[in-house]
Amino acid sequence: MTAELLDGRATATTIREEVKAGVEQLEAEHDVVPGLATVLVGENPASQSYVSMKERQCEQAEMRAFGRHLPEDISQADLTAEIAALNADPKVHGILVQLPLPDHLDEDETLAAIALEKDVDGFHPVNIARLTLQGVEPTFAPCMPLGCVELLDRYNVGIKGKEAVVLGPSNIVGLPTAMLLLHRGATLNICHPHTEDLPGISKRADILVAAIDEPAMVKGDWVKPGAAVIDVGWSRVKDETAEKGYRVMGNVDFDEVKEIAGYVTPVPGGTGPMTIAMLLQNTLLSAERRAGLVD
Ligand code: GUN
């Protein structure tokens, strides 16, 4: 292996400890306990597991977690009213609506109902729009993209002036990651299903972000020697030899890429743990802003 591991698990542990220290200080000096409300609609098992992980880590960081588990058939009006109540609750500093929502609900309308100053997930349409503008900051940036950039920073991987390629323009990860890298001075290429010569374009990248949801698609010969490769994929792939009958894989063929890249994130243990760490960091920031301690 020639690449250095961008260890999301270890980095996220450090960030969670930093957040916990910040929470303790805020409570000791200002009598404020940051609170995160998680809104889960319906019974999607993956969403249930993500939300319970977020709530657990919130409590471990000594924040308050307010879980709102709402019925699958809730009306748009009732969901919007639940969010309005959380907007008005002073104990709540951050609100996260777990996606995807059931089909009858309007994602855009739901996310737009969250108060901007509590949008710690960074998915409010105004925050997404601000992310695309020069010289305007969102109140919060989305957590997985923020986690990708934070990992690069903590391993001193330079961004300014570098060529970045983002594979997959999803609203949740690809596009916002591209915008964060652009604002940090990277030169950007965003690839999508119609892009011709994905391997050739990928190979130009100093920073390659794989967000295409295709297990092990990025091969060693897609990667420029020494590049930083960030894998945001996560899928279960059948494997009879594994204890559970499956293996977790990202978008990157790790065994090949680790021999070529300068830095690479593992899956699991890369960008996944960073996402919740950034959510906790955003929630602390929201509470500090409300207390008038930071802008
Ligand atoms: N669904 C998948 N990822 C996310 C995320 O980061 N936030 C929310 N709210 N929903 C998701």
DSSP alpha helices (H): ranges in the chain? Answer: 8-30, 45-60, 76-88, 107-112, 125-132, 143-154, 174-183, 198-202, 254-257, 271-290
Atom of ligand 1 nearest to the CA of 96: 9
Question: Given the DSSP bridges, would you call strands 163-167 and 187-191 parallel, antiparallel or unpaired?
Answer: parallel
Ligand 1 site-directed mutation target among 99, 120, 123, most atoms within 8 Å of CB: 99
Contact 71, 290 (CB under 8 A): no
Task: Average the pLDDT over 187-199 and give the result.
Answer: 97
The closest residue, in CA terms, to atom 8 on ligand 1 is 98
pTM here is: 0.96
Task: Average the pLDDT over 254-264 and give the result.
Answer: 98
Contact 95, 118 (CB under 8 A): yes
Contact 24, 30 (CB under 8 A): no
Q: Cis peptide before 142, with omega less than 30 degrees from 0?
A: no
pLDDT bin (cut points 50, 70, 90) of residue 1 is: low
**Catalytic residue among 98, 206, 231, 258, which?**
98
C-alpha pair distances (Å), 63 with each of 20, 24, 219, 276, 294: 8, 9, 41, 13, 19
pLDDT digits (tens, 9 = 90+) for 83-93: 999 999 999 99
pLDDT bin (cut points 50, 70, 90) of residue 213 is: confident
286: Cβ below 6 Å to ligand 1?
Answer: no
Rounded Cα distance between 138 and 51, Å, is 24
| pLDDT value for 38 | 98
The closest residue, in CA terms, to atom 7 on ligand 1 is 98
| pLDDT value for 53 | 97
How many A from CA of 170 to the centre of ligand 1? Answer: 12
The closest residue, in CA terms, to atom 4 on ligand 1 is 99
Active-site residue flag, 48: no
pLDDT digits (tens, 9 = 90+) for 145-176: 999 999 999 999 999 999 999 999 999 999 99
121: Cβ below 6 Å to ligand 1?
Answer: yes
Atom of ligand 1 nearest to the CA of 100: 1
| pLDDT value for 178 | 98
Active-site residue flag, 76: no
Evaluate if residue 243 carries a pLDDT over 80: yes
99: Cβ below 6 Å to ligand 1?
Answer: yes
What is the SS3 assignment for 210? strand
- pLDDT mean across residues, the chain: 97
Evaluate if residue 253 carries a pLDDT over 80: yes
166: Cβ below 6 Å to ligand 1?
Answer: no
How many A from CA of 31 to the centre of ligand 1? Answer: 30
Task: Average the pLDDT over 59-83 and give the result.
Answer: 98
253: Cβ below 6 Å to ligand 1?
Answer: no
